[in-house]
């Protein structure tokens, strides 16, 4: 090997080593002291060992203003590239807080856009790890343009490839809108923050005293705003849960419904469910227990579990088929649909439909939550989102009514009338316009008028009992073909697996249009 060649090799090795140092040893130590990994460590821990291929590691900014040329880092503060997670191809970028606090400039944004374009063109999921103080002020409008270029790509990628955001530090100002347009957001307790305006601005404008954690911490966005989807204990937990989520997702919208190997028998009986649903319609039960009992290996990944708890959304497998599950939760607000639950479920349905993931809907819903707060907040509009999402979906849809299905909520929760392929019910199913008590008050108000005391109670109890015998069951709907079959609860898993096998090649053609106008 010639001396010149060796010198070139040494120079490359030196540049690679320099690029790996980011903002330098002191800043790396500070990152570690805060319980945080560096941008590069996060990538290496998330991806399969040895699979990462980095792009643009020698890119540097070209800003000459405010003495910026005196400080230039190889990679310009963001790491980008491709690799695999559990063998699945992904594209990734990771913001480096050790370089100017992760602030975004023109070259930095161009790197992210490049890897997003690569992901879209090659139909692989894109993962963004966010840890940045915001725009690089020294670069002015070029930083703002960089954000807009990223936002535009988020929209182009939506429904084409899965987009996953990890917020593992600050994410403020305009920077929040990129994660907000992705499919899933992970946040880490006590170290993740998202807000459009920080505590100081809030205090100046509204005179409210609020901490960063209260304003935009992981608990706030997982429990109150619904912006985030997963709350993680620490960074290791976050990275592991991203790997878990990806096991349920396809590479992109081009992949049709796939069946993976399963060690759990499709004909496994669910004996636990034989008398699981209470016959007393006012008695609550935990719908999550039912879900866990019927999915493969009892593995259920819940999405947004701390937000709008009256509805459950998440992923499970049935005989190897990845399935999105939406279910009313009788333990919270009796399973009523409200503003937050409707929006949460609607977005989840649309994600599943975009990526050819079959949908299972488990119904136990007494109706929409009443009250002025709900009406003034637009429950009509938000409830219509869920109705729209189900009606628009073309993936296989199976609906199971476990108990109550009352009023408009019966229609909205993937009824036969809005496109479900298979509609089932347990013998405990109650399908009616409303509950027996309310129905009797309306239908028989003349007969009850004037009655008092024991006479009133006796007459009403008799009327309620008669109404329940005639209407509080699934057989009238089954007789009309709105319910395809009334099944024994212990056969739930077997039936769902069997139907999925038949529905996997479903094709639905919709009228040509640019797009519908969902009631946002």
Specify whether the CB–CB gap between 178 and 165 falls below 8 A.
yes
Of 107-121, 127-141, 246-260, 454-468, the one with minimum mean pLDDT is: 454-468
pLDDT above 70 for 450: yes
Query: Residue 97 contacts by C-beta under 8 Å, 6 or more apart in sequence?
Result: 23, 27, 31, 36, 39, 131, 132, 133, 169
Q: Which of 126-130, 273-277, 429-433 has the lowest mean pLDDT?
A: 429-433
434 pLDDT above the threshold of 90 = no
- Burial class from Cβ neighbours inside 10 Å (0-12, 13-18, 19+) for residue 309 reads middle
Q: What pLDDT score was predicted for residue 440?
A: 82
Beta bridge partners of 53: 82
Specify the CATH number for 271-434+472-503; select among 1.20.59.10, 3.30.300.30, 3.30.160.270, 3.90.226.10.
3.90.226.10
CB within 8 A of 113, min separation 6: which ones?
Answer: 146, 149, 150, 153
Active site residues: 173-174, 408-409
Q: At 161, is the secondary structure helix, strand, or coil?
A: coil
Cα torsion angle, 489, 490, 493, 496, sign: negative
The closest of 398, 342, 397 to 367, measured between CA atoms, is: 342
**362, β-bridge pairs:** 327, 400
- Tell the residue number behind the tokens 């911490």, with chain if given: 217
The answer to whether 307 and 318 are in contact (CB under 8 A) is no
State both tokens at 389.
């999402």
Query: Which CATH number applies to 3-246?
Result: 3.90.226.10
Report CA dihedral (423, 426, 432, 436) to the nearest 10 degrees.
-170
67 pLDDT more than 70: no
Domain boundaries, the chain: 3-246, 271-434+472-503, 436-471
Contact 276, 490 (CB under 8 A): no
| Mean residue pLDDT across the chain | 93
Nearest-angstrom CA–CA distance, 44 and 50: 8
Provide φ and ψ at 147, rounded to 5°: -60, -45
Burial of 206 (0-12, 13-18, 19+ CB in 10 A): exposed
CB 227 within 8 A of CB 185: yes
Rounded CA gap, 491 and 474, in Å? 17
pLDDT single digits (tens) 488-498: 999 999 999 99
Identical fold between 3-246 and 271-434+472-503: yes
* Selected residue with higher pLDDT from 105 and 238: 238
For residues 161 and 125, the answer to whether their CB atoms sit within 8 Å is yes
Residue with the bigger pLDDT between 452 and 107: it is 107
Q: What is the per-residue DSSP string for 213-269?
A: HHHHBHHIIIIIS---SEEESSHHHHHHHHHHHHTT--SSTT----B---SS-TT--
Which band of pLDDT confidence, cut at 50, 70 and 90, is reported for residue 163?
very high
pLDDT at 64 > cutoff 80: no
pTM above 0.85, yes or no: yes
How is residue 389 annotated by DSSP? H
Contact 281, 472 (CB under 8 A): yes
Instruction: Report the pLDDT value the prediction gives residue 374, as an integer from 0 to 100.
Output: 96
- % of the chain with per-residue pLDDT over 90: 74
Strand partners, 94: 79, 129
The rounded percent of the chain whose pLDDT value lies above 70 is 98
């Amino acid at each position: 090997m010639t001396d010149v060649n060796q010198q070139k090799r040494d120079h490359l090795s030196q540049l690679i080593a320099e690029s790996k140092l980011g903002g330098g040893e002191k800043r790396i130590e500070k990152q570690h002291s805060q319980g945080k990994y560096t941008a590069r460590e996060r990538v290496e821990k998330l991806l399969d060992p040895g699979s990462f291929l980095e792009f643009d590691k020698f890119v540097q900014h070209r800003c000459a203003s405010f003495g910026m040329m005196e400080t230039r880092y190889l990679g310009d503060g963001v790491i980008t590239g491709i690799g695999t997670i559990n063998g699945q191809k992904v594209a990734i970028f990771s913001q480096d807080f050790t370089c100017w606090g992760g602030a975004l400039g023109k070259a930095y944004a161009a790197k992210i856009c490049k890897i997003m374009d690569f992901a879209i063109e090659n139909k692989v999921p894109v993962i963004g790890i966010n840890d940045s103080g915001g725009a690089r002020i020294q670069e002015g409008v070029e930083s703002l343009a960089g954000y807009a270029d990223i936002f535009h790509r988020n929209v182009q990628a939506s429904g084409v490839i899965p987009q996953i955001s990890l917020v593992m530090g600050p994410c403020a100002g305009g920077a929040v809108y990129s994660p907000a347009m992705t499919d899933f957001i992970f946040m880490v307790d006590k170290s993740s923050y998202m807000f459009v305006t920080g505590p100081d601005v809030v205090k100046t404008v509204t005179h409210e005293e609020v901490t960063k954690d209260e304003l935009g911490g992981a608990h706030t966005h997982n429990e109150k705003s619904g912006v985030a989807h997963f709350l993680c204990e620490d960074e290791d937990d976050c990275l592991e849960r991203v790997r878990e989520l990806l096991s349920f997702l396809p590479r992109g919208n081009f992949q049709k419904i796939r069946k993976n190997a399963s060690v759990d028998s499709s004909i496994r009986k669910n004996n636990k469910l034989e008398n699981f649903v209470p016959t007393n319609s006012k008695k609550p039960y935990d719908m999550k227990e039912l879900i866990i009992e019927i999915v493969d290996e009892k593995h259920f990944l819940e999405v947004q579990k701390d937000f709008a708890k009256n509805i459950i959304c998440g992923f499970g497998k049935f005989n190897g088929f990845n399935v999105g599950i939406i279910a009313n939760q009788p333990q919270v607000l009796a399973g009523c649909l409200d503003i937050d639950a409707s929006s949460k479920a609607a977005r989840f349905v649309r994600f599943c439909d975009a990526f050819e993931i079959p949908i299972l809907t488990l119904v136990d819903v007494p109706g929409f939550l009443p009250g002025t707060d709900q009406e003034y907040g637009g429950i009509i509009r938000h409830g219509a989102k869920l109705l729209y999402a189900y009606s628009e979906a073309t993936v296989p849809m199976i609906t199971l009514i476990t108990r109550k299905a009352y009023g408009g909520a019966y229609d909205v929760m993937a009824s036969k009338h809005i496109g479900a392929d298979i509609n089932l019910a347990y013998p405990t199913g109650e399908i009616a316009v409303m509950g027996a008590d309310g129905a009797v008050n309306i239908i028989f108000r003349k007969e009850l008028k004037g009655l008092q005391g024991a006479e009133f109670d006796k007459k009403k109890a008799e009327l309620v009992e008669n109404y329940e015998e005639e209407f509080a069951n699934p057989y009238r709907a089954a007789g009309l073909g709105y319910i395809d079959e009334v099944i024994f609860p212990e056969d739930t898993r077997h039936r769902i697996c069997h139907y999925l096998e038949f529905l996997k090649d479903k094709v639905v053609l919709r009228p040509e249009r640019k797009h519908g106008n969902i009631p946002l």
